[in-house]
Amino acid sequence: MSGGRGTGPLKLGAVIITMGNRPDDLRALIDSVHKQEGDPVDIVVVGNGAPVTGVPDGVRTVDLPENLGIPGGRNAGIEAFGPSGADVDVLLFLDDDGLLPHTDTAQLCRQAFEADRRLGIVSFRIADPDTGVTQRRHVPRLRASDPLRSSRVTTFLGGANAVRTTVFAEVGGLPDEFFYAHEETDLAWRALDAGWGIEYRADMVLNHPTTTPSRHAVYHRMVARNRVWLARRNLPAPLVPLYLGVWLLLTLARRPSKDSLKAWFGGFREGWSTPAGPRRPMKWRTVWRLTRLGRPPVI
């Protein structure tokens, strides 16, 4: 099968964003990408508000003068490969403190995208490098008890994935204004609405230390604000209050601390009072597709 640029194997690139605070981890990740079997994977490292230093020869760098957030940094990496990443067929997005433990991950990516022309996004399995455990929240589906089962899904993991660049050309990049949280689901919903498929692949592994998302100071505010934006941008009008009402109840059921709940409600209000970006409600057939995949867009 031919790639988007012509005949021959699909050409892969990799985007890594960094704030310059993990130089050893970054170098180890780059080395693991260089060890991938098959054609070399071109790498771009984006310095998100910090200059990139100490990377091997041949690795391209983009130094952003300020931190644009996760989606903004990754979008800068995409454009480093040409408009919408057009210089390559598939882009890998990898956290700078991750590591590809197997040398066949790039080849598995090529095979997956070559086998299915409508496959748009692949979500890798994230495993702790010491225990091998995959956290439940890192399996992008509701039925997450078996992380070793691959399946079609409705979203993907931001720092461990591969995206066909045709998807960016067709539906746009990640939403810059989100800065952090839910930017992957925004892109996933737009891709699904355009007819692309998303697959979780348990055999494509990124090692990553076990962490909790709440380690980020802005976590609760961003999660709430961006969830409102996500609904306002993408859902048919009747589903917006239903989706956000369900998430309000789920948040309360989890009994967050007083400070966390205060930050969450602040973000929730901000999501309603500030511009959410362009509104492109998904088709009702996409709602049904999400439902058949096990994740109706009300949860």
Encode pLDDT of 233-270 as tens digits. Answer: 999 999 999 999 999 999 999 998 999 999 999 999 99
- How much is the average pLDDT of 206-224? 82
The pLDDT tens digits of the residues spanning 135-161 come to 999 999 998 999 999 999 999 999 999
130 with 180, same domain?
yes
pLDDT confidence of residue 218: 82
Measured distance CA(195)–CA(171) in Å, rounded: 11
Can you give the C-alpha Rg of the chain in angstroms? 19
251 in a structural domain = yes
Measured distance CA(245)–CA(135) in Å, rounded: 26
Name the token pair of 19: 């704030």
91 in a structural domain = yes
pLDDT confidence of residue 45: 98
pLDDT band at 8 (very low <50, low <70, confident <90, very high): confident
End residue of a domain, out of 166, 187, 211: 211
> What CATH code is carried by the domain that includes residue 175?
3.90.550.10
Task: Determine the straight-line distance between the first and last CA of the chain, rounded to whole angstroms.
Answer: 37
pLDDT confidence of residue 5: 58
End residue of a domain, out of 164, 193, 211: 211
pLDDT confidence of residue 1: 36
Phi (first) and psi of residue 126, to 5 degrees:
-95, 130
CB 272 within 8 A of CB 226: no
Which of 168-177, 204-213, 221-230 is the least confident region? Answer: 204-213
- How much is the average pLDDT of 92-109? 98
Write the DSSP assignment of the chain as a string of letters. --BTTBSSSPPEEEEEEE-SS-HHHHHHHHHHHHT-SSSPPEEEEEEESS---SPPTT-EEEEESS--HHHHHHHHHHHTTSGGGTTSSEEEEE-TT-B--STTHHHHHHHHHHH-TTEEEEEEEEE-TTT-PPPGGGS-SS--S-TT--EE-S---TTEEEEEHHHHHHH----GGG-SSSHHHHHHHHHHHTT-EEEEEEEEEEE-----GGGSTTHHHHHHHHHHHHHHHHS-TTHHHHHHHHHHHHHHHT---HHHHHHHHHHHHHHHHS------PPPHHHHHHHHHTT--TT-
* Model pTM score: 0.95
pLDDT above 70: percentage of residues in the chain: 96
- How much is the average pLDDT of 64-69? 97
pLDDT confidence of residue 253: 96
Structural domain that includes position 273: 214-279+287-292
Q: What is the rounded average pLDDT for all residues in the chain?
A: 95
151 with 244, same domain?
no
pLDDT confidence of residue 299: 85
